Amino acid sequence: MEAANCKKLLFRFGTLGATLIDTLDDLIEVDRLPPQLSMKVLDAFDRIIKETLSTHPKVKAKVTIEGKLDMYRLIDDMWTFQLKDVKMKLGDSEAVKADKLKISACNGEGSSRVKVEEGKKAKRGRQEREV
């Protein structure tokens, strides 16, 4: 999978993207929408979501995630992180706890960067990490 496809798929796996795909599939099944048009709709969705998230002035949220890194990998420009005993905080809101969290991300372009600060107990490979 190339990087451009990776970035498109990230948006499609969210609730909004999955709901759009389900709706388009239903319309195709009852012959209300040709498959070629559904692909154009999904391409427009990908483009608009990317533009909105990268340029909208209200999208400035900062998420803090703490937990134990159970596994990470990079395949075809797609990072996957699996964490255990997770605590997440969005801005100044109250922290949310979860037993497990899976993060899928593509390498950013331009000013999109992910800052990762590792704790002193970090180890290499598939061994457990404290992040």
Which tokens hold the place of 47?
């483009």
Which domains, and CATH codes, for the chain?
3-55 (1.10.287.190), 63-130 (2.30.18.10)
pLDDT band at 109 (very low <50, low <70, confident <90, very high): low
Residue type (1 letter), 65: I
Q: Give the Cα-Cα-Cα angle 65, 105, 39 (nearest 5 degrees).
A: 135
pTM confidence score: 0.52
Identify whether the C-beta of residue 75 lies closer than 8 Å to the C-beta of residue 104: no
Residue 93 has pLDDT above 80, yes or no: yes
Write down how long the chain is.
131
The C-alpha atoms of residue 34 and residue 5 are separated, in whole angstroms, by 22
d(CA 17, CA 45): 8
Average the pLDDT over 3-13 and give the result.
65
